[in-house]
A and B are shown apart, each in its own frame.
Chain A
Amino acid sequence: MSSNRTRRTHATLVALAAGALVLTACSSGAGTNTEGGNDRSGAEAQRSQIAFGDAAASKGAAEEVPGARKGGTIKVYQRDTYSHLDPAQIYVSDEGALATLLFRKLTTYHMDNKGKYTVVGDLATDSGQSSDGGKTWKYTLKDNVKWEDGSPITAKDIRHSIERTFAPFITDGPYYLQQWLADTNSTDYRKLLKDGPYKGKHLPDSVLETPDDKTIVFHFKSPHPDLPYALAMAGYAAVQEKKDTKEKYDKAPQSSGPYKIKPGSFKSGKGMTLVRNTEWDPKTDNSRHQYVDKFDIQFGVSYPDSTQRLIADNSDNQTAVSFNNQVDAASMQTVSNDPKVKKRSTSGYQPYVGVINFNMKRIKDKKVREALAYAMPTQAVLDAYGTPGGGELAGSYISPTVTGYKDIDPYGKLKKPLGDVAKAKKILKDAGKTGMKITFAYMNAPEPQKYSVSIVDNLKKAGFDVQPKDLPSDTYYDVIGKVDNKFDIYASAWGADWPSASTVLPPTMDGRQVQDGSPNYSHYDNPEVSKEMDRIAKMSDQEKASEEWFKLNEKILKEDLPAIPTFYYKQIQLHGSKVGGVVNNDIISGVDPTKLFLKK
């Protein structure tokens, strides 16, 4: 997924600095951790394959959160208004967190009280039954799953939910499933059902079959073993056919989860109120709770503002939390050094990995890229985003949150994060490129401004003739996304959509994706690598595929070096002293709203 919040948002994106917004799924992750701080053990514990749960694993009700009680109202501080409430338009993580309370999907991620994740059936009885080596997937709906108006959720609703994602007005959500159904890698998937289901046409049974009210069968032309992951995305949540108002649905969606939107309460830029959905049956849901009576969400509260309020922990702030706001970089030391505040913090990984891209169209000599990599002060990049807590030095293109993660560090960036200038200088000299001109583009935003000074300094010491060039934050990603951009090195970030490297390497490293606007910002094109990606993508054995993705990741890094990783993104969040059940959920990159309760 594009770096952060919306791509719309490119700019915002890097505000990513401050916060991950794109809904992503990482894999494993730090899971729980309420009593302040976090180390890597949580993520490491989760690096084993996330299991696809069977019917037993998918059965409700969810295990109780220790100490939980019912009742009360939790105040929620959010920086951004939710741009979309129509699940098909949801891709960013702040809306994804909200979606966990409102919408149910065929599958979902279950996080147990120990922080272990499993993909389980949500509306479906299990995570899916595959045949044909992953080309056919069958789902059966649970009994007694209902919409907020009390009517049953049927296979017809699920068919409608999927078919409407082909409609022209659905532009912001994920489109993995649409592409798989249309058997294409591009946006021409819409041709399969160009108006969606709104003009009487439907997907053929050879693609999507709903033989009865309970059964949904997907037929793909290629194996798609990742389907249970994809269906767990908020973008594929169920939409009630008879209540579908097309574009207007974005303002008044029907709930299938434990909470629903209080009618008329959503005010863009102001806030919204969630109240209990009385038609939600906890016995059908093994992942969500309905502890508090209401969530009173306030928009427009900046990170510094929410941080100050929650540090103060006075009056209403004692019962407040934020689903997505992070501790602002300037307050990280305060949070870290004050045990009372630290105790009310939660932290975890985000699925994003920051890198410094090398423009492969311009820097074709690998020795030069090596010299750049060795000289790069990755610690300075990380420090700019706030330490401790803003992240962790990276050695790989893939985050520790992704299943099968392995630590690698072929360029010694973990051992020498300030940069090995001497080694870089020697490599550059041996290559006969001392004094080579390098144009370094960076975003005109606080964090890049900070780290750019160190980068320029190190590169100059290594023997490069560095030409720094700041770019407006609003258009930064558009500019570096141009294949013919005039820059040699620049920073970007990318996160997995689900806990598989299949959502990291193909978008960012597949040469066939090199085009304007593509996230392959290095414009890296190695046909052999692309071929290998195709091979791995078809593997039905998830564990084996995971190993292969990481081998390919290491091969790209060692042999071609199109970018040097800088740091893995992490976030720290605070909550009021009277809020319980606060755990970090790596899948939604923040506090898990479904487990929250108010203490006495």
Chain B
Amino acid sequence: MLRFLFRRSLGAIVILLLISAFTFFLFFAAPKDPALLSCGKNCTPDAIALIHKNLGLDKPIPVQYWDFMSGIVTGRDFAQGPCPAPCFGYSFANGDPVWDTIIDRFPTTISLTIGGAAVFLTVGLGTGMIAAWKQGKLVDKVFSSASLVLSSMQIYFIGPIVLALLVYNLEILGQPKYVNFTDNPAAWFMGLLIPWCVLSVIFTAQYTRMARSSMIEQLAEEHVRTARAKGMTRGTVFFRYAWRGSLIPIVTIFGIDLGSLFGGAMITEQTFALPGLGTLAVKSVRDTDLPMVMGVMLFAAAFIVLFNIIVDACYAFIDPRVRLS
């Protein structure tokens, strides 16, 4: 296991370095000059040159990249003050320290992501299993049809509808908002309930279909047939043998889906005005805010890579046939 973790960690570092280089150099291929962010009214060449100097954009691009990457490890000094490691610099747009901003926004996104995942894993797997259990029956047909419809429901479409219906007209729920879990767990839950449900709709539909087909496939496996032939009850066979085996492809997909979930979180945050990493990423890209773009990109990439390692490690526990080596 240790060798596995060590090898995957090294791979993760290489991936992150590649992502950082790709993002950084791609940024400079963009047609928009970040100096325009703070150029005021008349952006004369003199004014732009001064801002380039203030932002360090007057240096060669490879030097800027080295300064940025080394700053993550060693920290840097800026006009705004010292920036201890991990230093991602200060926002071009508003001078905020990038790392502090990311840390400040992360709880919103992780709450949204984990909550959304919990909803679609619970509901999606649950309905998928029930559909498989009741294969060919009315319940199966209803769940299968609903999953087809819901899998085409985009967040930006259903979000405003849910808001208009549940919040503004029926007033059943309050305005979605993020409250720190430690400050008020109940307000945290209620504030994110709508975003969780909206974020998870498409995933729920997809996981319903995936769980159903995976389960039906497992039920046709020889070891399952053998278990039945040995006289085990249907429930025991279903949950002890088929269910466990059906999870393997789902766990694999779940690791990949985390990236999509983060993308979904971006749209969800925008839809419900939640101040997370998604809204931060969108604004940073729009503002050509290089330090913030780099910070968010690397942080999100690191998070996804880490989660994938964890998911891979989980294989061994789910299916003993899988060997990490």
Contact = CB atoms under 8 A, between A and B. Distances in A.
Interface string A256-272: 00000000000111110
A187 interface: yes
A171 B38 contact: yes
Interface in B87-139: 91, 93-96, 101, 104-105
A40 interface: no
Contact of A315 (B41, B44, B48, B174): B174
A7 B44 CA distance: 12
A247 B273 contact: no
Interface in A533-557: none
Contacts, number: 139
Interface string B54-89: 100000000000000000000000011100000000
A312 B167 CA distance: 9
Contacts of B275: 267, 269-271, 299-300
B46 A314 contact: no
A11 B279 contact: no
Contacts of B38: 8, 83, 89, 171-172
Interface stretch (A61-69, A373-381, A515-523): A515-523
Contacts of B39: 6-8, 171-172
A73 interface: no
A397 to B, nearest CB: 18
Interface in B279-305: 279-280, 283, 286-288
B17 interface: no
A308 B79 contact: no
A217 interface: no
B4 interface: no
B279 A269 contact: yes
Q: Which of A89, A247, A301 is the most central at the interface, judged by chain B CB atoms within 10 Å of its CB? A: A247
Q: How large is the interface on B (under 10, 10 to 19, 20 to 34, 35 or more residues)?
A: 35 or more
A500 B39 CA distance: 23
Given A168-B50, A299-B275, A8 B287 contact: yes
B233 interface: no
Contacts of A91: 40-41
A8 B41 CA distance: 9
Interface stretch (B29-37, B189-197, B234-242, B311-319): B29-37
B184 interface: no
- Give the interface size class of chain A: 35 or more
Q: Is the contact region of chain A dominated by helix, strand, or loop, or is it mixed?
A: loop
Interface in A286-310: 298-302, 304-305, 308-309
Nearest to A298: B273
Nearest to B277: A269
A474 interface: yes
A7 to B, nearest CB: 6
Interface string A75-102: 0000001111000010100000000000
B273 A518 contact: no
Given A169-B79, A186-B44, A268 B273 contact: no
Contacts of B51: 171
A230 to B, nearest CB: 13
Contacts of A409: none
Interface of A: 1-2, 6-11, 81-84, 89, 91, 168-169, 171-175, 186-188, 190, 246-248, 250-251, 267-271, 298-302, 304-305, 308-309, 311-312, 314-317, 472, 474-475, 478, 507, 515-519
Given A268-B94, A515-B44, 20 more contacts: A6-B36, A7-B40, A7-B41, A9-B37, A11-B286, A81-B94, A172-B40, A174-B40, A247-B79, A248-B80, A248-B81, A250-B94, A251-B95, A269-B101, A299-B275, A308-B160, A308-B168, A311-B168, A312-B168, A478-B33
8 contacts: A2-B42, A9-B36, A82-B94, A89-B38, A268-B91, A269-B275, A305-B273, A475-B31
